[in-house]
Amino acid sequence: MKNLLILTALLSSVAYAAPNAEALYDTHCLSCHAPNRLGGMGPTLLPESLARLKRPEAIKAIADGLPATQMPGFKDLLKPDEISALADFIYTPPTHPPKWDAADITASRIVHQDALTLPAKPVFKADPMNITLVVEHGDHHITVLDGDIMEPIVRFPTRYALHGGPKFTPDGRFVYWATRDGWITKFDLWNLTVVAETRVGINTRNVAVASDGKTVLAANYLPHTLVKLDARDLSLIEVIPVIAANGKSSRVSAVYDARPRNSYIAALKDIPEVWEIPYDGRPPRPIVLQDHLDDFFFDPGYAYILGASRSAPKGQVIHLDSGRKIAELDLGGMPHLGSGITWDWKDSNGQTRRVMASPNLKDGLVTVIDMQTWQPIKTIPTAGPGFFLRSHEASPYAWADVFFGKHRDVMHVIDKQSLKIVADLKPIPGQTATHVEFDRYGKFALVSIWEMDGALIVYDAKTLKEIKRLPMKRPVGKYNVWNKTRLSEGTSH
Ligand code: HEC
């Protein structure tokens, strides 16, 4: 009997030592973060979703809450070991793979407006083709800027954590964006209102819009699918499972519109294939590769992709029609081809060639390659690895950030003909300067100061003089309607 008592005491102390995280979740978190951690009013809490959140930050969020949001603090309600168990729990994969199928997608759809009943002209005076959207990650907002004078027209809240760039219809009226947790939003820029929303997945990378404006295609990490929606009202057209011939499925890193091909192209993360998905509903065409390519660049005619992979040391040039590798790219480090840009460059004989330049995620350099021979013609040393390189047809300069390392407050300005750095800007010492985007005419260059209390700095693109600063909450990407819909050579698409 006495032994039994000791055993019971021991058992209960064991139970105390290991709080039941799942039960705690159901009691305290489920109401906002939803059953199975799939996300509802609060974001999805699965390991894939939390890739950018470090465990100590998660513990702090659970204990103290997140200021100026609806996430409450639990330190008065839960013991430290319970909070710690909850943190472990949210980084643990669920026992059953989470499901998000056609029925879930269809049931999630919210139609806010019938776009046909809204006036087909802008409610503002600004040039609708020179609008620039700024995505503010710090507090999940979008600012709409008048590109002629660089003044905000409106600022509004979005769903949690936009992922990938917003994509415009060719007329510039509608814009679509994806969130980390799988929501696709259609927004009417002329009426400044949300039209419809559909949740296409649990963890989503980005969305692309067909150049005929009829469909949108979303790339998912979770589940392993591509989801095609009707561009008018975001109703579901098709769920495309991403499975190779050998039965292995894959996450989709990103999807792009390939306008001249009347198709979309998808980059796959887990199988060495790139998929071409025709607009017209024919089945995807897998292009089988030697290596995984999860970061790539299209030549301006969409005949080739230039791809890099984390596993292979050299980049590759793939001819899309034949599916063949036609050249290797000897670029060194880890080129960020997805951020590559092109322009016409005159060589020493006065001959014009199309060149492509890309920043490098690992080494402090920008590489310039000849797009006919695919050979590097110049390596420009920078103050550290960078993320974005940007320019505009009307500008003689390319702007390269130094995103990683101690010089992340520096922005290099490169002369596109001499291929030399001609100016180093340091907008705010000690604060990360990144991602440049231009207005429609290439008159202004906008630099993001990527901090919670950050800013957008407007430069005169010719004189490189600062014109003004607009305060913003961790602004990252900027998207100009004209440059994005007209496939400006100085930005990505
Ligand atoms: C009243 C609703 C609500 C409850 C209850 C709630 N949360 Fe949250 N939680 C939110 C919202 C909203 C956010 C997003 C805040 C923001 O905008 O940054 C959030 C964010 C978080 C984040 C940060 C996610 C990220 O991607 O950065 C974590 C971690 C988190 N919650 C964990 C929990 C846990 C664990 C519980 C239960 C103990 C819980 N939350 C209870 C609403 C809630």
Atom 26, ligand 1: which residue's CA is nearest?
50
Q: Both ends of the chain: CA-CA distance in Å?
A: 74
Q: What is the pLDDT of residue 330?
A: 84
Note the pLDDT tens digit of each residue in 442-484. Answer: 999 999 999 999 999 999 999 999 999 999 999 989 999 999 9
- SS3 state at 258: strand
What's the whole-number average pLDDT of the chain?
A: 94
Topology of domain 334-493, per CATH? Methanol Dehydrogenase; Chain A (2.140.10)
User: From ligand 1's centre to the CA of 78, what distance in Å?
Assistant: 15
Cα–Cα distance measured from residue 477 to residue 436, given in angstroms and rounded to the nearest whole number: 8
Give bridge partners of residue 79 from the DSSP assignment: none
Q: Left if phi > 0, otherwise alpha if psi is -120 to 50, otherwise beta: which for 136?
A: beta
pLDDT of residue 298: 94
> Ligand 1 within 6 A of 86 CB?
yes
State the span(s) of the chain assigned CATH 1.10.760.10.
2-90
What helix, strand, coil percent values describe the chain, rounded to 5? 15, 40, 45
Query: For the chain, where do the domains classified as CATH 2.140.10.20 start and end?
Result: 334-493
Among the listed residues 93, 84, 32, the one whose alpha carbon sits nearest the alpha carbon of residue 58: 84
Distance of CA 320 to the CA centre of its chain: 24
In this prediction, residue 59 carries a pLDDT of 98
Structurally, at CATH architecture level, domain 2-90 sits in Orthogonal Bundle (1.10)
CA distance 219 to 158: 19
For ligand 1, atom 24, the nearest C-alpha belongs to 43
- For residue 157 and ligand 1, the question of a CB distance below 6 A is answered with no
**Per-residue model confidence (pLDDT) at position 333:** 86
CA of residue 31 relative to chain centroid, distance: 29
Element (H, E) at 133: strand 131-136
What is residue 3's predicted lDDT score, i.e. its pLDDT? 55
58 close to ligand 1 (CB < 6 Angstrom) = yes
pLDDT, position 97: 84
Nearest alpha carbon, ligand 1 atom 20: 71
Compute, in angstroms, the gap from residue 64 CA to the centroid of ligand 1. Answer: 11
Q: At what angle do helices 21-28 and 80-90 cross, to 10 degrees?
A: 90
When computed from its CA atoms, the radius of gyration of the chain, rounded to whole angstroms, is 24
Place of tokens 């081809």: 337
Ligand 1 pocket member 50 (CB < 6 A):
yes
Q: Go through the chain and tell me how many residues it has.
A: 493
Residues of the chain with pLDDT under 70: 1-17
How many angstroms does the Cα of residue 33 sit away from the middle of ligand 1?
A: 7
Q: Is 19 in the pocket of ligand 1 (CB under 6 A)?
A: no
Looking at residue 1, its pLDDT comes to: 45
Rounded CA gap, 160 and 162, in Å? 6
Query: CB under 8 Å to 217, separation ≥6 — which residues?
Result: 207, 208, 210, 226, 227, 228, 229, 255, 264, 266, 277
CB 434 within 8 A of CB 448: yes
Query: Could you report the per-residue pLDDT of 144-172, keeping only the tens digit for each?
Result: 999 999 999 999 999 999 999 999 999 99
Alpha-carbon span 454 to 138, nearest angstrom: 9
